[in-house]
A and B are shown apart, each in its own frame.
Chain A
């Protein structure tokens, strides 16, 4: 059965999945879990209460894409396409919609504030009345006067509140960094649009369109998106294409590590014995991955996996540590890596720029040689000595 490919949206340097059915397929069929990351900026939540979108790790993304199970949508590309067909009418609609919402919001807010204030004043009034009743025998005259003045106060207060509120209208909106340009104060903007002639309108609309593009893009220049952008972003933010002084050694090291971990996931999912396994990030156990023999909600994990390059020298202390850790939590500490073929080695040493390195990495990733080169060793404390 050919399954439909899952769209993964790249926003900034994060890979996100927004659709619940997609998340379900990822979990149940591809055994990719990711991390739920959705929250509201005004009410941040603890991680247990987070919701869609699902954020995927770079390894998960590369695995899904390399296996042809997902495709990437880049935020920049989408914005670009969207604004290509954007007309002045769209701008007007957009502004009107904004204005309507704005007005509604203000009304809503005013009503809320009024009600709150009213409720509060009622409460104080009642309290005062109670106090008054206590002292009634002595100061009945004064009490009467107070009652009247309270009533006036209520009306006065609510009036004042509304005024204050409308002068602070900006605060209701989520402030963008462009507020200094005055674009977020829609009051006067709508005024102008409604009363200006064609030319002014076009100018303004152009301005707004640019503003919107900027807001969603950062840079209007949208280059074609390939997987390498994402890799650049995640491998090392500091690595820029074509910039001199890129630490090639470091980049190569990271590429190798990354490919080892992607290959590892592939090897787990492609074998019959381990097809039901799940691979999750392993920071809790001080490792790259932890491997579960089934859904992590039902099982304890079996393996703590770390990746090393084939020739990389590993401190014996890490073996000691890993083995001890594994025994303590009834798991195995796994060292994993890729056994290089002789040919690849030559190609590697010849690459001398970051671009070439990344290209080599992508080629290797889509090489399609499966898990044949993945080598694992499971370490545990021997229990004697």
Chain B
């Protein structure tokens, strides 16, 4: 059983997630999309990496930027097609869907990799998800899940 299968089985039959699907990206990385039995609302981010924001936090709206955006979107659309073809699975997208990235405990992960996962999803969904989940698999079969929010998020109130 590969790492991805282990996490998928665990999500479906231990945590009772619905509609779990494995998605493979162009770069070979895999992610599991699924719907948890009870929705977990993402917490808002106060600072994210927004290229359209200047130093003071204002939105920059000039023609140049808009043009760039349009170009980006065009590229995004192309990529999306490719992603769907390469995995053969329609990527589910709704506020309820969570994206789980399976990873072994003995592996390592860099900021670059995390950012890449977000970017892959951004291209595929045409929208950057608010968070992803790391499914960390230990060598005794324990799987622990950690949310990774995009940006500096506000802690939950309890």
Q: Is the CB of A310 closer than 8 A to any CB of chain B?
A: yes
Q: Is the CB of B56 closer than 8 A to any CB of chain A?
A: yes
A385 vs B9: C-alpha distance in the bound complex, in angstroms? 12
- Inside 8 A of B49's CB, which chain A residues have their CB? 339, 372, 374-376
Specify which of A310, A331, A339 is in contact with B155 (CB 8 Å cutoff). A331
Q: Is the CB of A27 closer than 8 A to any CB of chain B?
A: no
- Inside 8 A of A16's CB, which chain B residues have their CB? none
A345 vs B111: C-alpha distance in the bound complex, in angstroms? 16
A332 vs B158: C-alpha distance in the bound complex, in angstroms? 13
A384 touches B46 (CB 8 A): no
Q: Is the CB of A371 closer than 8 A to any CB of chain B?
A: yes
In angstroms, how far is the closest chain B Cβ from the Cβ of A300?
9
Per-residue contact bits, chain A 297-326, to B (CB 8 Å; 1 contact, 0 not): 000001100001111111111011001001
Per-residue contact bits, chain B 1-14, to A (CB 8 Å; 1 contact, 0 not): 00000000010001
Stretch at the interface among A34-42, A139-147, A162-170, A270-278: A270-278
Stretch at the interface among B76-84, B88-96, B144-152: B144-152
A310 vs B49: C-alpha distance in the bound complex, in angstroms? 14
A149 vs B15: C-alpha distance in the bound complex, in angstroms? 95
A319 touches B153 (CB 8 A): no
In angstroms, how far is the closest chain B Cβ from the Cβ of A4?
22
A308 touches B152 (CB 8 A): no
A312 vs B112: C-alpha distance in the bound complex, in angstroms? 8
Closest to B105 in A: A316
A303 vs B156: C-alpha distance in the bound complex, in angstroms? 12
B108 touches A315 (CB 8 A): yes
A378 vs B134: C-alpha distance in the bound complex, in angstroms? 12
- Inside 8 A of B105's CB, which chain A residues have their CB? 316-317, 320
In angstroms, how far is the closest chain A Cβ from the Cβ of B100?
9
Closest to B136 in A: A316
A308 vs B114: C-alpha distance in the bound complex, in angstroms? 12
In angstroms, how far is the closest chain B Cβ from the Cβ of A375?
5
- Inside 8 A of B27's CB, which chain A residues have their CB? none
A316 touches B149 (CB 8 A): no
Report the contact-size class of chain A (Cβ under 8 Å from the partner).
35 or more
Q: Is the CB of B121 closer than 8 A to any CB of chain A?
A: no
Specify which of A274, A314, A385 is in contact with B152 (CB 8 Å cutoff). A274
A308 touches B110 (CB 8 A): yes
Most buried by B among A302, A310, A339, A379: A379
A378 vs B103: C-alpha distance in the bound complex, in angstroms? 18
Q: Is the CB of A334 closer than 8 A to any CB of chain B?
A: yes
Per-residue contact bits, chain A 64-98, to B (CB 8 Å; 1 contact, 0 not): 00000000000000000000000000000000000
- Inside 8 A of A312's CB, which chain B residues have their CB? 110-111
B15 touches A385 (CB 8 A): yes
B111 touches A274 (CB 8 A): no
- Inside 8 A of A271's CB, which chain B residues have their CB? 46-47, 56-57
Specify which of A272, A310, A319 is in contact with B57 (CB 8 Å cutoff). A272
Closest to A384 in B: B15
Given A274-B47, A308-B110, A385 contacting B144 (CB threshold 8 A) = yes
Interface residues of A (CB under 8 A from B): 267-268, 270-274, 291, 302-303, 308-317, 319-320, 323, 326, 330-332, 334-335, 337, 339, 370-372, 374-385
The 12 sampled A-B contact pairs (Cβ below 8 Å) are A272-B57, A311-B110, A316-B106, A320-B146, A323-B146, A330-B156, A332-B153, A376-B152, A380-B146, A380-B155, A385-B14, A385-B15
Interface residues of B (CB under 8 A from A): 10, 14-15, 36, 40, 45-49, 51, 54-57, 103-112, 114-115, 133-136, 143-156, 158
